[in-house]
């Protein structure tokens, strides 16, 4: 079998640098750089310029919108006629919608009183609100504390339910 020589692998154009591999890589790099790397860099610069122009146009547009809103003084109250719920003597509390507040718990010793108290302190008719405490705690001490807090609020006339799941898997 014929032995391969360096002349069969490396063309004659690299004659002077045949023995030095780093010199061969530099020559190859010089031949690739101009036709390959320079056009890619020019393309990247063009893309960056286009994107910068787009950002500038967006900023100008947003500025025009803000100035227009300030000049004409458009406010949401003028567009949307919202009114707070008024007490109706005939309907009583039935004018208010039913509201369900769910409080998930999982071993939260530090915040259970605060979160239950905040939900129970909402200013809403007590017959139109249901508060559910969903307790997934694994610590029996914390479970007892949360249940006692729910019982305390229930004794004050708040419609509060204490719920425990057997497992925490999604159905």
Instruction: Give the domain ranges of the chain.
Output: 8-70, 93-164
Sign of the CA dihedral running 58, 64, 66, 69: negative
Residue range 101-114: average pLDDT?
Answer: 90
Q: Could you read off the pLDDT of 21-71 as tens digits, one per residue?
A: 888 888 888 888 878 888 889 999 999 999 999 999 999 999 998 898 888
> Mean pLDDT in the chain?
82
Return the residue matching tokens 């609020």: 153
Mean pLDDT of 131-138: 90
Percent above pLDDT 90 for the chain = 38
- Report how far residue 152's alpha carbon sits from residue 142's, in angstroms, rounded to the nearest whole number: 15
Separation between Cα atoms, residue 20 and residue 22, nearest integer Å: 6
* CB-based burial label for 162 (10 Å; 0-12, 13-18, 19+): buried
The band of 154, judged by pLDDT with boundaries at 50, 70 and 90, is very high
């Amino acid at each position: 079998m014929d032995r391969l020589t360096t002349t069969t692998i490396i063309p004659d154009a690299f004659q002077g640098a045949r023995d030095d591999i780093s010199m061969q890589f530099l020559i190859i790099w010089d031949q690739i750089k101009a036709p390959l790397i320079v056009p890619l860099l020019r393309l990247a610069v063009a893309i960056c310029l286009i994107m910068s122009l787009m950002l500038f146009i967006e900023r100008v547009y947003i500025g025009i919108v803000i100035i227009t809103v300030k000049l004409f003084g458009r406010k949401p109250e003028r567009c949307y006629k919202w009114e707070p719920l008024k007490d109706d003597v005939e309907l009583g509390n039935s004018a208010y919608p039913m509201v369900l507040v769910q409080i998930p718990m999982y071993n939260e010793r530090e915040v259970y009183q605060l979160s239950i108290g905040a939900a129970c302190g909402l200013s809403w008719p007590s017959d139109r609100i249901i508060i559910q405490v969903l307790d997934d705690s694994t610590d029996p001490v914390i479970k007892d504390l949360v249940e006692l807090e729910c019982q305390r609020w229930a004794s004050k006339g708040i419609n509060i339910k204490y719920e425990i799941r057997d497992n925490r898997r999604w159905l």
